[in-house]
Structure 1
């Protein structure tokens, strides 16, 4: 099956987290990805999930041979992805200036947490640090609990990898229209903050407060997470009036005195939440799934990734699969109603000799798959 990015060649300078995820995503969509990694990064006999659909080459970028290998591959690539701290690629002689001199149409993608400039640019950090400083971690818990970062989701993936992907695709379009490459500075703090614009729009309309625990999304009983009799959790998101009415009908609460006033009567919210907590504690998560999943209440069971892979809806869509005993999510999104197949993940350095042999013979067509 041909894929939407079949014509794209990507050179990834191997790193951690969002950069490799972005390169995997591009490979999922058909891009030809060569990942250059240090030999010390070969940590096991099987390829990491983030290597799927890629080819992997060992190189020491501090050596002249490693530098020349990268520049040779850059000459015929559409995209380069790097996730070093600011200034590192320049010190290696592989910064944007050097690479764009070799290939003026190159889209040079830079993935960092803090960005290429600013007071924190040279500092180390992780997903939760970037998300917290960007303001994106502030609302990730009830007001009486500590904010918790969902592993890599808000920062590394949401604010990082996917914004880098957007920038790279925009850069490719620009390069193909103008013949000029570009440098994409994808900072996790920028992307995580940009994702807040929906919440900031709600703030503009008075739906989100500047104090935790004072907004519909973190204090109302109809947009909440509840614990069940078996210790598992469910989510209710009955924001719209018709869904709220349906929630009350399904639970037999229509006409109940505790729910007699308007849905947005904030003075009644604490008592209503307490009532719903008591009700949901009476049955198991599976029982509530049976009650709600055939309705429009806006309901979801809180599932682990393993549990999610077995949910009938996820199974029907083929969202999860196993390759080599590794649970993973299938490529997304879908095109023309079709889901792309999940590719195998390669071992680190598995294609070193093949790529070096092709370069030695000056055969670019054998270096790249297309």
Structure 2
């Protein structure tokens, strides 16, 4: 494959969510990613398995562990997303694998991290952003916080942070450094994503509670509104020049309630007025009314609508992969653009070819297959 990461080999021990997302990002940009899967393929959407090869190896057998170690000896990096200690018990922990391959970057994806009081506890995105202080501010005042799907911890604070950590460590190796472990905890990553909020808190600009701050819905110029057709519009008119265009476009330029933008004492009245006003027309009429005005107004689209939006269509933000609509690789690199992603392989489709590439003889491959080490 072409791409900035062409020439790198990554072994992924298949899990769910953020680990596969990290591997997909690396594979999209040209890394050769070998996904070691369970018999049956395991749990999770197969779309996250694009842009890599697939092997099925029974890691509960000594022969399977030996094969996995051989693959890791040939790799630049490893990705695993099990609870702390699982890989060590399998005989595939970082001490052993980095001992086999001193330049290996060993990426570990967990919710709570490799140590700490919660390290061995189960959890999901909602729990990780809860203790990171992120979930508390999301939602509607007076109601419980609303989980933002599983984007923040699993994918932003998890998979993307692991991808960044892997590339940072791989760059260190290329500059002469030793292999090392990347401990990517979703709690750490979610907290990092909220760095600006911590800055607002230090500056006295933060209020605890769902929807209580300027960027979480308390301000009339940064929130969502319902339209007459049951669809929704987003308003992000933070800067005064954008707010002025918005107010003028709504016919409120001379309204005394809208004389001040940044006085919180008037926000409740302004929100009530805008709620009523936006509810008088369909969403797309509002979009047309503010088109090219610079008011920072955009429609809130469904996934199907997003794929068809003219801006996304012009940029190729969404593409067809194996006959299904998926997001295109991101970000975009001018000199080493990514190839179109390849569809997910059949589970275990590449096992024999990978073993042959490691120097296993046809006879040895047949023995391992007969023993149930792979299929």
TM-score range, shorter chain: over 0.9
User: CA distance change for structure 1 residues 151 and 94 in 2, over 3 Å: closer, same or farther?
Assistant: same
Whole-angstrom distance in 1 between the partners of 2:252 and 2:292: 19
What is aligned with 2:370?
none
Please state how far the C-alpha of 1:348 moved relative to its aligned partner. 1.4
Deviations 1:202-257 (A, max 9, x none): 22223222344442223111111100111111111111111111111111110112
Q: 1:85 to 1:48 in 2, by over 3 A?
A: same
Task: Please state if 1:172 is matched with 2:170.
Answer: yes
What do residues 171-224 of structure 1 show as CA deviations (whole Å, max 9, x unaligned)? Answer: 001111124101000000000001111111122223222344442223111111
Q: Does 1:10 align with 2:13?
A: no
| TM-score relative to the length of structure 2 | 0.92
Q: How much does 1:324 deviate?
A: 2.9
TM-score (norm: length of structure 1): 0.93
Preserved CA contact (<8 Å) 1:15 1:84: yes
Residue 129 (structure 2) pairs with residue 135 (structure 1): no
Question: SS of the residue aligned with 1:279?
Answer: helix
Alpha carbon RMSD of aligned pairs, Å? 1.9
Which residue does the alignment assign to 1:292? 290
Say which is worse superposed, 334-343 or 186-195, in terms of deviation: 334-343
- Corresponding position of 2:101: 103
Residue of structure 1 equivalent to 2:353: 354
Give the 5 Å matches for 1:306-317: 306-317=304-315
Q: Is the 8 A contact 1:48 1:346 kept in 2?
A: no
Shifted more, 1-10 versus 330-339: the winner is 330-339
Stretches of structure 1 that go unaligned for 5 or more consecutive residues are 364-370
CA drift of 1:93 comes to 0.7
Aligned 8 A contact 1:104 1:179 in 2: no
Contact 2:14-2:20 within 8 A present in 1 as well: yes
| C-alpha separation in 2, matches of 1:201 and 1:162 | 22
> Do the aligned residues in 1 keep the contact of 2:28 with 2:338 (CA within 8 Å)?
no
- Equivalences for residues 1-370 of structure 1 within 5 A: 2-41=2-41, 48-217=46-215, 218-260=217-259, 262-336=260-334, 340-361=339-360
Q: Secondary structure at the match of 1:178?
A: coil
Number of equivalences: 360
- 1:254-274 per-position Cα deviation (integer Å, ceiling 9, x unaligned): 0112213x2112221111111
